[in-house]
Structure 1
Amino acid sequence: MENVVLVIHLILALSLIGSVLLQRSEGGGLGMGGGGGGATGGRPAPTAMSKFTWILAVAFICTSIALTLIAASNSSNSSVVDRIVIPTESSDGAPLPDLGESLLPPSSDDAPLVPSAD
């Protein structure tokens, strides 16, 4: 199920990019370009391409939410560390050496006493 939604999501992403790039530039970015068209309120009538872009955007957001919900349900409150299996024998059947409880190097208290050369 996750793979199907992911493929649809990728197709929507590419389609959304294409539809945005195909739209005609209205000019006047950041509100520049004069007042013109007082009767329409300065906003042009939506074209079929802009409506199609909005539909793609809404579908893209829906698949994003669906992928998030699927990933959350697949996690099932487990950690990656819980899935690690520590082998007790090497590949030839010999037991692995005991590494102790700690992965830290031995402290100075554990070091053997070495007589000083006075």
Structure 2
Amino acid sequence: MENVVLIIHLLLALSLIGVVLLQRSEGGGLGMGGGGGGAMSGRAAATAMGKVTWILAIAFIITSITLTVIAAEKSAGASVIDRLGGSSAPADGAEDTTVPGLGDLDTLLPPAADDDAPLTPRAD
């Protein structure tokens, strides 16, 4: 079901882009103006294109909301951490320093500096 709605959503997005690009410019936007006649000129064509744009926009919003509802239902009660297989907090209250796939976190960090050691510049 989700794939069908997603395909319809993508087709609506492409159609909406095409219809918006086909519309006659009202001028002033980029300073290019409308100019020239053609098959898509006149007030009747503008209102027909406007209606098609509105229909496509409403259908796009409906499919967006539908996809959001489907995604919310699929992830109800589960977090990303649960799906990865890790735990959110250690059971005994101690700090867990293991990172899934990387091992112990202490081996990834640089060694701690001694507070008593003087800061010396590196010799290059």
Report TM bin, short chain: 0.5 to 0.7
Structure 2 alignment gaps of length 5 or more: 30-42, 87-93, 98-104, 107-124
Per the TM alignment, residue 83 of structure 1 is displaced from its structure 2 partner at its CA by: 2.6
Say how many residue pairs are matched.
Answer: 81
Q: What does residue range 21-60 of structure 1 map to in structure 2 within 5 Å?
A: 21-29=21-29, 47-60=47-60
Structure 1 alignment gaps of length 5 or more: 30-43, 87-99, 106-118
The structure with the largest alpha-carbon Rg is 1
4+ residue runs over 2 A deviation? 83-86
Residue matched to 1:102: 96
Superposed CA RMSD in Å reads 2.8
Question: Normalised by the size of structure 1, how large is the TM-score?
Answer: 0.58
Per the TM alignment, residue 47 of structure 1 is displaced from its structure 2 partner at its CA by: 1.4
Letter in 2 for 1:58: I
Q: What does residue range 1-118 of structure 1 map to in structure 2 within 5 Å?
A: 1-29=1-29, 47-85=47-85, 102-103=96-97, 105=106
Question: Normalised by the size of structure 2, how large is the TM-score?
Answer: 0.55
Per the TM alignment, residue 84 of structure 1 is displaced from its structure 2 partner at its CA by: 3.3
Residue matched to 1:34: none
Per the TM alignment, residue 101 of structure 1 is displaced from its structure 2 partner at its CA by: 6.8
SS at match of 1:27: coil
- Identity of counterpart residues, as a percentage? 69
Q: Which structure's relative contact order is higher, taking Cα pairs within 8 Å and 6+ residues apart?
A: 1
Per the TM alignment, residue 102 of structure 1 is displaced from its structure 2 partner at its CA by: 3.1
Counterparts of 2:28 and 2:80, CA distance in 1: 51
